[in-house]
Amino acid sequence: MTAIPDFSAVEAMDAADALRAFRDRFILPDGLIYLDGNSLGVASKAAFAELQQAATQEWGQDLIRSWNTAGWFDMPLTLGDRVGRLIGAAAGQTAVCDTTSINIYKALHAAMALRPDRSVIVSEGGSFPTDLYMAEGVLSTRPGGTLRLEGVDADTIEELIDDSVAVVLVNHVNYKSGELRDMAALTKKAHEHGVLVIWDLCHTAGALPVDLDGADVDFAVGCTYKYLNGGPGAPAFIYAATRHHGDVSQPLSGWWGHARPFAFEKSYAAGKGMLRFLCGTQPILSMRALKGALDIWEEVDMAALREKSLGLTDLFIALVEAKCAAHGLELESPRDRAKRGSQVSFSHPHAYEIMQALIARGVIGDFRAPSTMRFGFTPLYVSYEDVWKSVEILEDILTTGAWKDARFAVRAAVT
Amino acid sequence: MTAIPDFSAVEAMDAADALRAFRDRFILPDGLIYLDGNSLGVASKAAFAELQQAATQEWGQDLIRSWNTAGWFDMPLTLGDRVGRLIGAAAGQTAVCDTTSINIYKALHAAMALRPDRSVIVSEGGSFPTDLYMAEGVLSTRPGGTLRLEGVDADTIEELIDDSVAVVLVNHVNYKSGELRDMAALTKKAHEHGVLVIWDLCHTAGALPVDLDGADVDFAVGCTYKYLNGGPGAPAFIYAATRHHGDVSQPLSGWWGHARPFAFEKSYAAGKGMLRFLCGTQPILSMRALKGALDIWEEVDMAALREKSLGLTDLFIALVEAKCAAHGLELESPRDRAKRGSQVSFSHPHAYEIMQALIARGVIGDFRAPSTMRFGFTPLYVSYEDVWKSVEILEDILTTGAWKDARFAVRAAVT
């Protein structure tokens, strides 16, 4: 993008936006420009409607009978298939259950059990930390195993892959920089050494097209409360390629994964396919809000989603660099569209205070220590005008020095 | 109980019921006698109010800010302490998170890590099966470990306890028979051999007074969707005695259990106390319904609860035995009050069909293969009149042979 658009050009972008009608399906608080959908996606009318139905009718009136009559029992797999469609997974390979962390644990154990004579896990020093903590947890139950990290043990993850490695656990988009990895190329490189790959899709599911089957991926995990808008702490998902279903096992072998869960047998017998990745009783109310959110996704063209995502991030980068150039912001996200997720990060020595000032003015992004301001662009409900206005406010905060107000320096316990 | 009460005596019991006012706090569907609160507790106005607030205001309007402003981040421990008060746990020993199955996995690993030179888990052949499946899962990660079962390897669990045993995993009330174990005595016997004990409280939390601290229990787990009325699949709880907090570890070491979760460190460092039993992001909507349900429990006198529970089960047993004696029902639950939970089970060769006929007439209990009819009595919302009416209907179904209708023999996939 060479010419910097003016406001009328931005209005024209919204007028031409193929996804513009989706915005009305969401609950957008008045006076807020919400650029934090990569942390918690906004609520939708469909999610609220499903939640209401699940609470008042199914729990309130039908009670225990809803396990059958309302499809509660089937939800991990029926919702799994609906998430699967968004990440390039043919039916029967995705389940919705538990948390991303728990699903990483399952996938890592499953992969290592498929490579019993290997003991190395490769991951990224810059990973979202819980991935590394879960890898540590898995290794605590597998004496002799080791964890090799990109940025610590070598510069690139590719250099760490050799025939001693059982599995690579890698983020598709980095949570901090928004950098997108080449899924097909890394998976191919791993497979050449007999290494399995687990992709963490927390920042790509619902953010851009993903093609797990096409890239020959082994396992994947991700959350549903960011770009998928499933609600706070909505259950996560896990994918396992069909070719592994015959042999795969994982130690969180609870009742819901049993081949005959209502026979009350004394010994575990793993159910078929993705069933064996299920464990305990799932939070039905949270899962039903997610079901509502997924109804909207049935109508979304993922190529159009990607085009708008790049349009929004292109515009944000261009406007910030044009209008805020004098204030020391450094782009931390890839300028190259092919390597960019659906977020833009800028660093600044006073990133924390500037973000607090933005939030006080109704522009919600987030801060990641030590110096990153992170802005997520969710194409279903963020407009080009939102981008324009957020940069106007950022420019004002920087120009006036409003961020220097002492109240913006007070750090909450959770950010 | 020698004399069989008549209906006016039953009405008098309701009139004298100290807990009677609680019934109005719950959503009781018209025309239903709900004796399945030991499978899924009923909804309450308080739970719906919290859910509504969490959805429309906190998610819908406040979005990401609610992690701080609405206390989302603190809920696993604040709700944990509120559950703790109902199970005899002083503050700081109980967390609400994940599922019962996952929490069993954590507790078993934690206990075995505290007994590194022992490798035996003792449990019950008649356990709720997921406990055994999770024990198998734990042992799959600990080569050389073994599982010894009451009813398989010996007649009683006490006979299986010796100095080779690391941990006993045992249900406080049996899910099928409703038999209550002596928590203090079994825990003491285990401790005499250096064995740790995990109590599964799924059928006692909210059903009767529990005294974990008083019985010197090591670990406990349980669900919140049965007697606590937290909602379908509401998050479970886990208890660990303070004396173990310094040394304890478990392999599901996710971000929420980290000592500094927002420092984004590369290595795991377990948080203090119950924090280290947390793992991934919890389902906030489901947790908020639970919070509403727990508001009601703040007002409940647990001794009065137990008294009413026994009054209800006494009455049910007496009426069924008096009115249905000719029809081949056998009491499977303890006649001895001291050994009885808050449910009554009767066996019958046609238990499945009879239960279906009861459900068709608006009396909801459940069936457990091969021949058990299970009736749960939740003192906060079941009345003595409910008991009377349910036995009237049961008597009618047995006397008329209404259960022989072919439609009652068709088994659903899930019961």
For an interface test with B, give the residue of A69, A73, A101 to mutate (most B CBs within 10 A): A101
Query: Of the candidates B130, B232, B283, which has its C-beta nearest A233's C-beta?
Result: B283
Is B286 annotated as a binding-site member?
no
Yes or no, beta carbons of B141 and A286 under 8 Å apart: no
Assess B137–A contact: CB distance below 8 Å, yes or no: yes
Assess B224–A contact: CB distance below 8 Å, yes or no: no
pLDDT for the residue B414: 47
Would you say domain B49-297 falls under CATH 3.40.640.10?
A: yes
pLDDT for the residue B174: 97
Assess B299–A contact: CB distance below 8 Å, yes or no: no
Assess A355–B contact: CB distance below 8 Å, yes or no: no
A126: nearest CA in chain B?
B266
- C-alpha A137/C-alpha B34 separation (Å) is 43
Domain segments of chain A: what residues? 7-30+301-409, 49-297
How sure is the predictor about B153, in pLDDT bands with cuts at 50, 70 and 90? Answer: very high
Residue B233 pLDDT exceeds 50: yes
CB A147 within 8 A of CB A123: yes
CA torsion angle for A79, A80, A81, A83 (degrees, to 10)? Answer: 90
Query: Of the candidates B40, B236, B368, which has its C-beta nearest A63's C-beta?
Result: B40
Would you say domain B7-30+301-409 falls under CATH 3.40.190.10?
A: no
Nearest to A134 by CA among B360, B257, B331: B257
Assess B85–A contact: CB distance below 8 Å, yes or no: no
Assess B212–A contact: CB distance below 8 Å, yes or no: no
Residue B95 pLDDT exceeds 90: yes
Residue B229 pLDDT exceeds 50: yes
The per-residue pLDDT for range A89-122, each reduced to its tens digit, is 999 999 999 999 999 999 999 999 999 999 999 9
Chain B closest-CA separation from residue A271 CA (Å): 13
B112 Cβ contact partners less than 8 Å away, ≥ 6 residues apart: B118, B119, B121, B138, B142, B145, B166, B167
Yes or no, beta carbons of B281 and A138 under 8 Å apart: no
Residue by residue, pLDDT tens for chain A (415 residues) are 457 999 999 999 999 999 999 999 999 999 999 999 999 999 999 999 999 999 999 999 999 999 999 999 999 999 999 999 999 999 999 999 999 999 999 999 999 999 999 999 999 999 999 999 999 999 999 999 999 999 999 999 999 999 999 999 999 999 999 999 999 999 999 999 999 999 999 999 999 999 999 999 999 999 999 999 999 999 999 999 999 999 899 999 999 999 999 999 999 999 999 999 999 999 999 999 999 999 999 999 999 999 999 999 999 999 999 999 899 999 999 999 999 999 999 999 999 999 999 999 999 999 998 999 999 999 999 999 999 999 999 999 999 999 999 999 987 654 3
Nearest to B316 by CA among B345, B338, B341: B345
The per-residue pLDDT for range B133-146, each reduced to its tens digit, is 999 999 999 989 99
The per-residue pLDDT for range A220-233, each reduced to its tens digit, is 999 999 999 999 99
Q: What mean pLDDT do residues B237-253 have?
A: 96
pLDDT for the residue B136: 98
Sign of the dihedral through C-alpha B268, A346, A413, A101: negative
The per-residue pLDDT for range B14-69, each reduced to its tens digit, is 999 999 999 999 999 999 999 999 999 999 999 999 999 999 999 999 999 999 99
The per-residue pLDDT for range B288-319, each reduced to its tens digit, is 999 999 999 999 999 999 999 999 999 999 99
- C-alpha A355/C-alpha A371 separation (Å) is 10
For A326, the token pair is 């004098």
Please identify every residue of B annotated as catalytic.
Answer: 128, 200, 225-226, 374
Is the bond leading into A370 cis (omega within 30 degrees of zero)?
A: yes
Yes or no, beta carbons of A64 and B36 under 8 Å apart: yes
Please identify every residue of A annotated as catalytic.
Answer: 128, 200, 225-226, 374
